[in-house]
Chains A and B, each alone.
Chain A
Amino acid sequence: MSTGPLILPRRARGRAFFDALHGYVFIGPQLLGFFAFVLGPLVAVFVFSFQDRDLLTGAVAFVGLKNYREIFADPLFYKVLSNSLVFTAGLVLLNITLALTLALLLSGSFRGVTTFRTVFFASVVTSAVAWAIVWRFILQGQQGVLNQFLEIVGIHGPNWLREPRWAMVSVIVARVLKNVGLNMTIYLAALKSIPREYGEAAGVDGASGWQVLRSITLPLLASTTLFVAIITVNGALQVFDHILLMTAGGPENATNVLVYYIYRQAFQFFQIGYASALAVLLFFVALGLTMGQWLLRGRSAEA
């Protein structure tokens, strides 16, 4: 009886140590992988950005800020950067508008509602490569089916993927159609949590459907919208598949965006140092956007 309490703390201490050991073993593989394939490479890309590397001979030379100076002296870089921002802005606006519209149309329960939800989400599980290939097929010059349809109704459609302005629009639209189903579903979940009585009470007070939407539903969805905007912006910044497959950055770099530019510099022109400096800039653009979003989020949480 009296020995019990004396022994327990020691055993407990031993157990805590043993437990902590288990903790390290459990997270070990993930952590090692993180150092080898995420943190290590992140440090490396900063180092590479100050070097010139020859992939064939393996020669490495320290060049200081040369890569950065070249990047900032190249008008193409500014075009690529502005393309990335235009793409991101266009994509986020169109995606959120469409996602919200679809969610509002599908929030009730009526015959066929699940079928429609299934349809709008199907492209989310489809591979971006397949989706981009099919859209390239649809949007081809005068032979593409879209222009054939337009021809039938008497409109001479543009060469969607070969004219600078239309190429950007086409890529944005194809990408929105690919991913909008996910945002729609997130909105649907949010709409479900809004009590029905809100709208009904307003309806009794004589508010029209449009007024209910504007002054009740949309404000209640504000935090969801911010959240959806954040994940969509991050995704848009990483666009690659659709660009490579639909336009290859063209015509005349009209759809050349950051990730695609890095890919070309590194793996087609083998400018490892230059491409690494671009990757560092991508890192800071992403970091800046994330921090901006956090600030926005913090402010909206206070409000």
Chain B
Amino acid sequence: MRRDRETAWLRRGAWYVALIILSLPFVFPFLWMASGSLKTPAEIFAFPPTLIPDRWNWQNFIEIFRYQPFARQYANSLYIAALVTLGTLCVSAPAGYAFARIRFRGNTVLFLLLLTTLMMPAEVTIIPNFLFMKLLGLINTHVPLILLPILGANGVVSTFLIRQFFLSFPQELEDAAMIDGLGRFGVFWHVAVPLVKPALGAVSILTFLYSWNLFLEPLVFINDLRLFTLPLAINNFADAYGVPVWHLQLAATTLSVLPVLAVYVLAQRRIVDSFVLSGMKG
């Protein structure tokens, strides 16, 4: 009896030890980033390494705004992600609704055609898209960073997710609303949209993060410092030889990661569910 309890206790202990060891490579990068962001250039490579800085060099967080227009770049990322999210909802919600609920010639064929987007890496089309934007004079503007996510792969995934929700939507509700004299648009806006708010929420979360973290597109379309988004900006703290200025780079990276992590900790359940939902799209 006592032995049983002892082995159970040991097993539980081993379980926790395994989990703690496995979580190290997931936690440590965040801690080391935060720690480095507060160190002086001299301490950053000190041996032996210090997790808690000897001297807290808050100066780094002021310095990054002098080094490049970091506030402006931060604002760029925010407003672009907001517009992309809004635009995706405006395009994907009606499309998802129409594909699920409205009968029209070509419904299925057009939907399948749209889905082919998901079968190919977005990188395949980056070259023609670049030349197309160049032709339109939109290089070094934020327009491609707003349009491409709304209408490209991320937008198609959003439409697909929203369509899935509308498929299970009870026909009687629509019929009742139409008998009450609502037209298609009225039904969509007053009856359908309010009922798929969870799906729209999930799409919003995924789309905002998608835009916030986008890297290849800004790298290709933007070369003016003042137009940079955060992923470009935090990669840009380097000296004339391209060697990273680590204390500043880590401070900027910390500032870019922290709000996302804070929101994640607060709204964890919903965020994880959104990802699982989109992961299940296949």
Q: What residues make up the interface of A, taking CB atoms closer than 8 Å to B?
A: 16, 18-27, 29-34, 36-42, 44-45, 48, 101-102, 105-106, 110, 112, 116-131, 133-138, 143, 145, 148-149, 151-152, 173, 177, 181-182, 185-186, 189, 227, 230-231, 234, 237-238, 240-241, 245, 259, 262-263, 266-267, 272, 275-276, 279-280, 282-283, 286-287, 290
Nearest CB on B from A143, distance (A): 4
* Chain B residues, Cβ within 8 Å of A230: 282
Contact of B265 with A by CB under 8 A: yes
Query: Could you say which of B67-75, B193-201, B207-215 contacts chain A?
Result: B207-215
Nearest CB on A from B176, distance (A): 16
Nearest CB on A from B20, distance (A): 9
Contact of B181 with A by CB under 8 A: no
User: Would B120 and A287 count as touching, CB distance under 8 A?
Assistant: yes
- Other than A41-B132, A134-B250, give 7 A-B pairs with Cβ distance below 8 A: A29-B95, A34-B113, A148-B48, A182-B275, A238-B123, A266-B126, A286-B121
Given the known inter-chain contacts A33-B147, A122-B261, A130-B234, please indicate yes or no for A263 contacting B124, CB distance below 8 A: no
Q: How far is the CA of A115 from the CA of B253 in the complex (A)?
A: 24
Q: How far is the CA of A286 from the CA of B90 in the complex (A)?
A: 30
Nearest CB on B from A178, distance (A): 10
* Chain A residues, Cβ within 8 Å of B18: 105
* Chain B residues, Cβ within 8 Å of A45: 124-125, 127-128
Q: Is the interface of A mostly helix, strand, loop or mixed?
A: helix
Q: Which of B203-248 contact A (CB under 8 A)?
A: 209, 212-213, 215-216, 219-220, 230-231, 234-235, 244, 246
Q: How far is the CA of A37 from the CA of B126 in the complex (A)?
A: 9
Given the known inter-chain contacts A48-B127, A129-B235, please indicate yes or no for A185 contacting B30, CB distance below 8 A: no
* Chain A residues, Cβ within 8 Å of B272: 117, 121, 185
* Chain A residues, Cβ within 8 Å of B209: 125
Contact of B91 with A by CB under 8 A: yes
* Chain B residues, Cβ within 8 Å of A122: 26, 30, 261, 264
User: Would B127 and A266 count as touching, CB distance under 8 A?
Assistant: yes
Given the known inter-chain contacts A125-B260, A186-B280, please indicate yes or no for A34 contacting B117, CB distance below 8 A: yes
Count class of interface residues, chain B: 35 or more
User: Would A124 and B97 count as touching, CB distance under 8 A?
Assistant: no
* Chain B residues, Cβ within 8 Å of A240: 123, 215-216
Given the known inter-chain contacts A30-B91, A45-B125, A286-B119, please indicate yes or no for A23 contacting B103, CB distance below 8 A: yes
Nearest CB on A from B216, distance (A): 6
User: Would B257 and A27 count as touching, CB distance under 8 A?
Assistant: no
Q: How far is the CA of A127 from the CA of B27 in the complex (A)?
A: 15
The chain A residue sitting closest to B33, CB to CB, is A134
When the two chains form the complex, which single residue of B12, B155, B185, B256 contacts A33, counting CB atoms closer than 8 Å?
B155
The chain B residue sitting closest to A125, CB to CB, is B264
3 smallest beta-carbon distances between A and B, as pairs: A33-B151, A26-B98, A23-B104
User: Would B102 and A20 count as touching, CB distance under 8 A?
Assistant: yes
Contact of B76 with A by CB under 8 A: no
Q: How far is the CA of A102 from the CA of B22 in the complex (A)?
A: 8
* Chain A residues, Cβ within 8 Å of B256: 127, 130
Q: How far is the CA of A151 from the CA of B48 in the complex (A)?
A: 9
Nearest CB on B from A42, distance (A): 6
Q: How far is the CA of A22 from the CA of B178 in the complex (A)?
A: 14
Contact of B92 with A by CB under 8 A: yes
Given the known inter-chain contacts A23-B107, A127-B257, please indicate yes or no for A34 contacting B114, CB distance below 8 A: yes
Q: How far is the CA of A275 from the CA of B123 in the complex (A)?
A: 11
User: Would A129 and B213 count as touching, CB distance under 8 A?
Assistant: yes
* Chain B residues, Cβ within 8 Å of A262: 123, 126-127
* Chain A residues, Cβ within 8 Å of B216: 240-241, 263
Name which of B128, B212, B234, B279 has the most chain A CB atoms within 10 A of its CB.
B128
User: Would A231 and B26 count as touching, CB distance under 8 A?
Assistant: no
Q: How far is the CA of A34 from the CA of B92 in the complex (A)?
A: 12
User: Would A30 and B159 count as touching, CB distance under 8 A?
Assistant: yes
Q: How far is the CA of A23 from the CA of B110 in the complex (A)?
A: 12
Name which of B45, B104, B261, B264 has the most chain A CB atoms within 10 A of its CB.
B104
User: Would A30 and B275 count as touching, CB distance under 8 A?
Assistant: no
Contact of B268 with A by CB under 8 A: yes
Q: How far is the CA of A290 from the CA of B115 in the complex (A)?
A: 13
The chain B residue sitting closest to A181, CB to CB, is B26
User: Would B234 and A231 count as touching, CB distance under 8 A?
Assistant: no
User: Would B49 and A145 count as touching, CB distance under 8 A?
Assistant: yes
Nearest CB on A from B108, distance (A): 12
User: Would A31 and B121 count as touching, CB distance under 8 A?
Assistant: no
User: Would B253 and A38 count as touching, CB distance under 8 A?
Assistant: no
User: Would A279 and B264 count as touching, CB distance under 8 A?
Assistant: no
Nearest CB on A from B161, distance (A): 13
* Chain A residues, Cβ within 8 Å of B150: 33
When the two chains form the complex, which single residue of B12, B104, B147 contacts A37, counting CB atoms closer than 8 Å?
B147
User: Would A19 and B103 count as touching, CB distance under 8 A?
Assistant: yes
User: Would B102 and A275 count as touching, CB distance under 8 A?
Assistant: no
Q: How far is the CA of A290 from the CA of B153 in the complex (A)?
A: 16
Chain B 256-282, CB-CB to A under 8 Å as 1, else 0, gives 110011001100100110011001101
